[in-house]
Structures are given as structure tokens and as C-alpha cells.
Chain A
Amino acid sequence: MEEGCNCLTSKMVSNLSIGLFIVLGIVLLMVRVLYVVYRCGKPFPKGASQSFTTLVVLGSGGHTAEMLSLLSVLRMDRFTPRFYIAAATDNMSLQKARSFEDSLAVKVPAVKKVSSQFMQIYRSREVGQSYVTSVWTTIVAIVHGLWLMIRIRPQVILCNGPGTCIPLCVIAFLFKVLGIRWSSIFYVESVARVKKLSLSGLLLYKLRIADQFFVQWPQLQKKYPRAHYVGCLM
């Protein structure tokens, strides 16, 4: 009788301690998440680094054109090495990025080739794909994204939508929380968005995943005060 009672108490104690551990773990994780959210958007001290490993996420058509317009005015020695990622179904974007990099190499022959790499990522859902099969393709896309991010471990992420950048930005945020890699995420909302943010933009803004958020129309800046209004990129 007593033994059974003891057994019960020790079971309860061990259950309790497991529970405590889980609660403690969750609390610690939440504190860490809050800290990361607090630190996001805080600028680096002057002279923090000479250059940053940079990931450029290319959207498609118009998005890619805007991104290249931004890249053309950035000091490329500060954003080296560069990794470009585009959706596997988008053949044009990487081609455009390659010719952009080639044009840089012509200007500064010394820094060519070694400083840039081009990759493709599976899309979680194609236009018109059924929701049942998209569960599977989403899992594949996330695992693939994780693999790419582990390889690149970017310090700077430049993105401007559409959806391709979301899993990569979420993984980057998790890396920050877990202390794997600290990165700064810059998101430029497309010039085509005048009154409302895109879904990608809204997510990155609301969840405070983007460190700095840029919009190209003053109407949007009024609605989303943490965004910078920067005029049209095009």
C-alpha cells in the first residue's frame, strides 16, 4: 500500500519536473523571441563589419527588375559574397542576375565570379495547384529552403516579394532565435502596391521579421508608420 503510494508520488514528482522543464523551456524561448524581436530593427554600430554575406531573393518579372535597380546603386564590396535565389519555375530572373553580375565584373575585373552564386528554390505552391498536393510540395519547399539557408547562412537578406522570400525569411528569423546566425532582413514593397501591402509584405511587417521595411508610395507609409517611404525604384 505504502509502496504504491510512494510510486505514485515519485511518478507525480517526475511528471511535475518534466512539466516544469517544458514550461521553463517555453518561457526561455519566448524571452529569446521577444529579445530577437526587440533587437530587430536596431542599427549596427559604426564600422561593425567590412562586408556582409548577402542573400538576394529574386521574385519574378517586375520584382526582379526592381531588385536589380536597387543592387545597381549598392556598394557591392559591402555586400560580398552574394547568393541569388529564384523560384525553380522562374528561368528569367537568375539569367538577369547573371548578366548584372557580369556587368559588374567588367567594371571591376578583380572581384569577378568568386563573389556570387546562383540557386533555385522549389515553390511551395504553383498557381492553380490543388491544396492536397500543396501540403507535400510545401514540406519539400521548406526542407529545401532550410538546406539552402544552412549552406548560405546570410547576414543580410534583400527581398521584395512575392511569396518565395517568406519561408527563407522565417528560417532566417529562427536562426536568430536559435543563435545560429544573426541576419538583417530588408524588404522593399513592390512599386505596384500603392494602397495595400502584398501578403508577403504584410506578414514581414506585422510579424516584425523585416528589420527595415520600404514602401514606394507615401499612402502606404501613412498606413504603416514603421515603413520608410523611398519613392519609386523604377
Chain B
Amino acid sequence: MEDRENAKKRLVFVTVGTTSFDALVKAVVTQHVQDELLKRGCTHLLIQMGRGTFFPTKCDGADGSLVVDYFTFSSSIADHIRSASLVISHAGSGSIFETLKLGKPLIVVVNEDLMDNHQCELAEALEERKHLYYTRPHTLHQTLTKMELESLVPYTPGDGTPVARIIDRFLGFPDD
């Protein structure tokens, strides 16, 4: 019974990272975003809201709407990402790569309130390579409507081998 329920469960996981990003939380709980998620077969919306002060309304989904739940912080973000069918995340490199490595479709929402906004560079560059979608809080709905998850290219994780090789050669170690 539980298995069947899990099979039907399609979770959208929203994460704002260690700070707050109320604009994103507000954007995902707007009615037209929720409607779009329902249309795409999603059933659950789970929000990690960090230090935010905007608390969304919880919903048990009895009337056929999305099941909405939230929490502030968790040490098992990876588990939530793993169980999600779509991740909507802030632009932090940690969340971005954690999601991409787990092979989950990802929409990155850039926080326009941040002063030093170099992080949108990363999201932009990864969108150019079609690894994710990249948007802003007020355009989240349009992105959801237009996106085609099938066209996303799976991300192949990199590693430090090229750096290690150059460091080893520089220090006079033989190649192995």
C-alpha cells in the first residue's frame, strides 16, 4: 500500500540554502505555480525555507491540490533531493551540484536581492550547457510552463585529477 502511494508521489523540493530567500518561497506557493506543478503531475511540494520569515500555508492535499509542507533546516538535504522529481533551488554552487550529481531536473532561481550576485554566472553557464533551467522569482511560472525536462542534458561530474596532475608535475613527482 505504502509502495503504491510512493509510486504515485511526485515531489517538488524547494531549497533556499543557509540564508533566507522569501521571494522564492512566495513564488512557489502562488496559485498559478501550484496549478502548473499539478498539471505536470506533481503531488507534493516540500520547502526548505532557511531563515526566511514568510511561512507558507501547509496543506494536506485532500481536495486534490498539492500537498504543501515546509521546514527550516535539515542535515539530510541530499535525501530530500534524492526523493524529488524536480528541484527548485537557490543559486548556491553546493545545492546546484548536489542536485545535478543526483541526476534530478533542476530550476535555479537567482536571488536578486543579493549584492554580490556572481552566483548567477554559474547558473547561466550551466543553463547554456543545458544542465538546468535558470530563472528569477517573478518569472518562475513562465519557466515552469515552457520547460521541457526531456531536453536537459545529464551532468557528468568532474574531479580534481587535472589539478592533481599539474601540482604533482610542478613539485617534481613522477607521473603514475
Contact = CB atoms under 8 A, between A and B. Distances in A.
Interface of A: 43-49, 52, 61-62, 65, 69-75, 78, 156, 184, 186, 188, 190-196, 198, 211-212, 214, 216-217, 219, 228, 230-234
B18 A233 contact: no
Contacts of A74: 160, 164, 167-168
A73 B124 CA distance: 28
Interface stretch (B4-12, B58-66, B77-85, B91-99): B91-99
Given A193-B121, A196-B118, A73 B93 contact: no
Contacts of A72: 159-160
Interface string B148-170: 00000000011111111011111
A43 B170 contact: yes
Interface string B22-55: 0000000000000000000000000000000000
A47 B119 CA distance: 41
Q: Ordered nearest first, which 6 A-B pairs have the shortest CB separation? A: A70-B160, A232-B158, A44-B172, A48-B172, A194-B121, A230-B162
A46 B172 contact: yes
B125 interface: yes
B172 to A, nearest CB: 4
Contacts of B162: 228, 230-231
Given A184-B171, A234-B101, 7 more contacts: A71-B160, A73-B163, A190-B93, A192-B119, A212-B167, A234-B93, A234-B158
Contacts of B93: 62, 65, 190-192, 234
B159 A73 contact: yes
Contacts of A211: 170
Contacts, number: 106
Given A61-B18, A194-B121, A78 B174 contact: no
Contacts of B101: 234
Contact of B125 (A69, A186, A217, A228): A217
B158 A49 contact: no
User: Which of A52, A191, A192, A219 has the most CB atoms of chain B within a 10 A radius of its CB?
Assistant: A192
B147 interface: no
Nearest to B128: A194
23 contacts: A44-B170, A61-B94, A62-B93, A62-B94, A65-B93, A72-B160, A74-B167, A75-B164, A75-B173, A78-B173, A184-B171, A186-B167, A191-B93, A191-B97, A192-B118, A193-B121, A195-B121, A228-B162, A228-B166, A230-B160, A233-B158, A234-B93, A234-B101
A46 B174 contact: yes
Nearest to A194: B121
B122 interface: yes
Contacts of B172: 43-49
Contact of B170 (A61, A70, A75, A184): A184
Contacts of B97: 65, 191, 234
Contacts of B168: 74-75, 78
Nearest to A155: B171
B92 A44 contact: no
A212 B164 contact: no
Contact of A43 (B159, B160, B169): B169
A198 B169 CA distance: 26
Nearest to B92: A62
A75 B176 CA distance: 10
Contacts of A233: 158-160, 163
Contacts of A78: 168, 171, 173
B171 A69 contact: no
A139 to B, nearest CB: 26
B15 to A, nearest CB: 13
B160 to A, nearest CB: 4
